[in-house]
C-alpha cells in the first residue's frame, strides 16, 4: 500500500491492506456510516468521507495530517500480514481481514466509547454515542464533535440514562468527572501495558477487556489481546480450553507478543463474519 495527497484528498493505492469497510466494521470504532457506497467517519471534531474508486481509495477530509495518522498510513501492514500468516491456526483469518488497519484514536473518546460498549451491540453503541455527541458536543456544521470531559462531567446521571446508557450512566458521569478533574490520560502513553491497564481499571466502568480495547485502539499497545464473546469462541476452537477471559488474554498475548492486537482484530473480524454465514 502507498498513499499521496492530490487536490487536498488522501489517495491510497494498492488497497490489499486498506479496506475501509473492514477497518470501520471490525469493532474498533463506532462513529461511522455508509451512504451510497461512500463511508464517513467522525473522530473528535474532524470528519472524513472515504470511497473506493478502482484500485484506489479516496479520503476527503478536513485535517490531512490527522487522518494520515488516524488511518495508520505510514505503517507497512504487508510485514504484519506476512509475519502472522506463518501461524497456521490464524492464516485464514489474516487473509480474510488483511485490509484492516488499527486506527490511532483519541484516548478520551475511546475510553467513553468502550465503557458504552460493555455488554452492548454495535448498532446500539453507535446510537448512544451519536445522541451523546448531539447533546453535549460542539456543532461543527453538519455534525457534532465528541464532547469534552468537562461537558460530560457537567451532565447528570439522568441525562446518561435518557440517551440509553442504562447501568453505564453512573460510570460515564464518574469517569468523565475523573478526567475533567485531572486524571492524566496522556501519561499512559509512557507506561507499559500492564501499568497502563491497572491505571485505566481504576476508572469506573473499565474492566480488563475494556481496558485492553482502549490500550490497543487509543495507545497503540499491540501486545494486548482483548477478549470478547467472539474471541472466546476463537480460543476454544484453537485450544479447546475453557479458561477465564483474563487467562485467555494472557495466553494469546504470550503467543502473539507484539502482534497480539493485530491478530485479535483479524480473528474477531473473521469469526464474526464466518459464524454469521451459518
Which residues are identified as catalytic?
A: 209
d(CA 62, CA 46): 6
Q: In the numeric block, which cell numbers belong to residue 49?
A: 468521507
Determine phi and psi for 18, rounding to 5 degrees: -145, 95
Q: What angle do CA 233, 234, 239 make, to 5 degrees?
A: 100
The H or E element containing residue 56 is strand 56-61
Q: Which residues on adjacent β-strands are paired with residue 60?
A: 49
d(CA 97, CA 111): 25
In the 8-state DSSP scheme, what is residue 148?
P
* Sequence-distant (≥ 6) Cβ neighbours of residue 123 within 8 angstroms: none
- Helix ranges (DSSP H) in the chain: 20-24, 64-70, 77-85, 91-97, 107-117, 122-136, 149-153, 157-162, 168-180, 193-200, 208-217, 229-239, 245-256, 260-276
Q: In the numeric block, which cell numbers belong to residue 43?
A: 473522530
d(CA 179, CA 172): 11
d(CA 260, CA 278): 27
Amino acid at each position: 500500500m502507498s498513499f499521496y495527497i492530490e487536490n487536498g484528498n488522501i489517495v491510497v493505492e494498492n488497497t490489499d491492506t486498506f479496506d475501509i469497510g473492514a477497518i470501520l466494521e471490525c469493532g474498533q470504532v463506532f462513529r461511522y456510516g455508509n451512504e451510497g457506497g461512500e463511508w464517513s467517519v467522525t473522530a473528535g471534531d474532524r470528519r472524513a468521507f472515504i470511497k473506493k474508486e478502482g484500485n484506489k481509495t479516496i479520503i476527503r477530509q478536513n485535517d490531512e495530517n490527522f487522518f494520515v495518522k488516524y488511518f495508520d498510513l505510514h505503517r507497512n501492514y504487508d510485514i504484519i500480514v506476512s509475519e502472522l500468516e506463518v501461524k497456521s491456526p490464524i492464516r485464514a483469518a489474516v487473509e480474510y481481514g488483511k485490509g484492516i488497519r488499527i486506527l490511532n484514536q483519541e484516548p478520551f473518546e475511546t475510553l467513553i466509547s468502550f465503557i458504552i460498549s460493555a455488554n452492548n451491540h454495535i448498532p446500539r453503541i453507535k446510537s448512544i454515542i451519536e445522541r451523546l455527541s448531539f447533546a453535549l458536543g460542539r456543532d461543527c456544521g453538519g455534525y457534532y464533535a465528541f464532547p469534552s470531559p468537562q461537558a460530560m462531567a457537567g451532565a447528570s446521571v439522568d441525562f446518561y440514562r435518557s440517551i440509553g446508557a442504562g447501568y453505564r450512566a453512573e460510570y460515564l458521569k464518574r469517569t468523565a468527572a475523573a478526567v475533567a478533574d485531572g486524571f492524566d490520560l496522556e501519561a499512559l502513553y509512557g507506561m507499559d501495558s500492564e501499568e497502563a491497564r491497572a491505571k485505566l481499571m481504576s476508572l469506573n466502568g473499565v474492566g480488563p477487556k475494556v481496558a485492553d480495547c482502549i490500550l490497543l485502539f487509543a495507545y497503540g499497545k499491540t501486545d494486548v489481546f482483548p477478549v470478547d464473546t467472539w474471541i472466546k469462541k476463537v480460543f476454544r476452537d484453537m485450544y479447546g480450553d475453557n479458561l477465564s477471559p483474563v487467562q485467555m488474554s494472557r495466553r494469546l498475548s504470550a503467543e502473539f507478543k507484539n502482534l497480539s492486537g493485530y491478530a485479535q482484530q483479524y480473528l474477531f473480524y473473521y469469526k464474526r463474519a464466518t459464524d454469521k454465514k451459518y
